């Protein structure tokens, strides 16, 4: 499924502030503190390449190990951090799906004074899409290794106005570049960059409630064009109006709705103008129970078919802390992808269940299960799969 939106971040922040959250202790290095963590996972996947037919499905036990090192310097109200994460994954019955991912990250939160704040982040990922995921959906077995890519992102936000002020403004600049490794014309044609500038205006209408007005314009550029092909280059604009509220009794969240336009440089491609929304609500009816609702509707870049994807999805998650060290998570997501210009339509659903136990302050276990399914009007895209896993996270 898609990456989590702000609602999930709100929910995670809410939950992680509880007494259950695992405390990460660092090593004092003077100006900086080194925070190391180690996460290991073993599990079983009964459809590694997300294939449709039983004769094409690959099942395998797998393992993944993820060491992460973060240097943190908190000075006053400001924070500087940077680090590195390595992930090594091995499939015991399908070595073609083994992978090694690298992530470099850095961020600076700096408050000049009560009215002026900045947030800057830089990330570089040498990662992968699993076979049968993203651009290789329905034909994962045609690849002889995971679909590797390099992605870099720079994000900068300037905030004007005190947090207690009647009105304030955020201005955001973002640049993201995506470069896949496979060197055939078909696969090189998806390499792209996206530059965007946007802003959010907040107007306080209550002690914990703001009206929000969002505007953004983005330039999408593809770096390779095959002979005779039509470019996917486009300009995207969006305008949203909504509200954001925090800690009102047992709920917090945001809701936005508005207009999105995607205008292709090539006249032969179908441009899009229509409704866009995004929202998330965190509800805590009990001290130890949290429900998180997340929904969105937007136009996205295609991953192989059509001109672009119209994506709609909604997810609901329930987290409950039964004991101080024991919690459960249950979540379901349903979505629909319309590949405009091709006629392809995918219905996607996913179920996640997990039990987490904090054995020690520095050691947490997680036993999880994921069921995922894709039902398409192009039968070759259909698949369903089950993943079972046991994860241990170690901190100092």
pLDDT in tens, the chain (396 residues): 344 344 444 443 344 444 455 667 889 898 899 999 999 999 999 999 999 876 688 999 999 999 999 999 998 889 999 999 999 999 999 999 999 999 999 999 999 999 999 999 999 999 999 999 988 888 888 899 999 999 999 999 999 999 999 999 999 999 999 999 988 887 888 899 999 999 999 999 988 899 999 999 999 999 988 877 899 999 999 999 999 998 766 889 999 999 999 999 999 998 999 999 999 999 999 889 999 999 999 999 998 788 999 999 999 999 999 999 999 999 999 999 999 989 899 999 999 999 999 999 999 999 999 999 999 998 889 999 999 999 999 998
Residue 180 tokens read as: 């896949």
What distance in Å separates the CA atoms of residue 46 and residue 384, rounded to the nearest whole number?
9
Task: Give the residue from 170, 167, 189, 168 showing the smallest Cα distance to 178.
Answer: 189
CATH of the domain at 198: 2.40.160
For 305-338, the pLDDT digits (tens) are 889 999 999 999 999 999 999 999 999 999 999 9
Q: Where are the beta strands (DSSP E) in 265-307?
A: 272-286, 289-301
How many domains is the chain partitioned into structurally?
A: 1
DSSP 229: -
What distance in Å separates the CA atoms of residue 242 and residue 295, rounded to the nearest whole number?
14
CB 199 within 8 A of CB 218: no
Residue 46 tokens read as: 């009964």
For 104-134, the pLDDT digits (tens) are 999 999 999 999 999 999 999 999 999 999 8
Mean pLDDT of the chain: 91
Task: Give the residue from 238, 239, 278 showing the smallest Cα distance to 262.
Answer: 238
Per-residue exposure over 362-390, b if at least 16 CB sit within 10 Å of its own CB, e if not: eebebebebebebebeeeebbbebebebe
Q: Residue 238: give the domain boundaries.
A: 6-294+312-335+348-395
Q: Is residue 340 part of a domain?
A: no
Q: Is residue 305 part of a domain?
A: no
């Amino acid at each position: 499924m898609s990456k989590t939106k702000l609602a999930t971040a709100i929910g995670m922040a809410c939950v992680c502030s509880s007494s259950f959250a695992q405390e990460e202790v660092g090593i004092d290095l003077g100006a900086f503190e080194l925070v190391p963590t180690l996460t290991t996972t073993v599990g079983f996947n009964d459809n590694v390449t997300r294939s449709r037919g039983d004769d094409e499905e690959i099942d395998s036990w797998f393992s993944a190990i993820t060491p992460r090192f973060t240097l943190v310097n908190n000075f006053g109200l400001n924070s500087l951090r940077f680090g590195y994460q390595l992930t090594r994954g091995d499939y015991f019955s399908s070595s073609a799906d083994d992978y090694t991912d690298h992530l470099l990250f850095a961020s600076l939160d700096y408050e000049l004074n009560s009215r002026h704040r900045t947030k800057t982040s830089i990330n570089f990922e040498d990662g992968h899409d699993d076979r049968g995921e993203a651009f290789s959906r329905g034909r994962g077995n045609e690849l002889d290794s995971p679909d590797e890519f390099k992605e870099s992102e720079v994000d900068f936000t300037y905030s004007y106005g005190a947090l207690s002020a009647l009105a304030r403004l955020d201005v955001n600049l973002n640049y993201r570049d995506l470069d896949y490794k496979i060197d055939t014309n078909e696969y090189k044609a998806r390499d792209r960059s996206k530059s965007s500038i946007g802003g959010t205006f907040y107007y306080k209408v209550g002690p914990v409630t703001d009206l929000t007005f969002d505007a953004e314009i983005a330039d999408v550029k593809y770096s390779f064009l095959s002979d005779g092909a039509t470019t996917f280059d486009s300009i995207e604009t969006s305008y949203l109006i909504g509200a954001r509220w925090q800690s009102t009794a047992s709920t917090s969240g945001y809701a936005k709705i508005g207009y999105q336009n995607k205008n292709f440089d090539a006249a032969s491609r179908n441009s899009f103008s229509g409704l866009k929304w995004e929202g998330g609500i965190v509800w805590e009816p009990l001290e130890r129970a949290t429900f998180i609702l997340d929904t969105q509707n937007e136009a996205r870049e295609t991953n192989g078919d059509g001109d672009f994807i119209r994506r709609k999805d909604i997810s609901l998650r329930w987290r409950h802390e039964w004991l101080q060290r024991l919690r459960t998570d249950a979540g379901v997501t349903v979505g629909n992808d319309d590949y405009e210009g091709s006629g392809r339509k995918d219905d996607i659903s996913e179920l996640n269940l997990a039990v987490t136990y904090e054995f020690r302050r520095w050691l947490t276990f997680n036993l999880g299960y994921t069921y995922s399914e894709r039902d398409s009007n192009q039968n070759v895209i259909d698949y369903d799969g089950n993943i079972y896993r046991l994860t241990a996270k170690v901190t100092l």
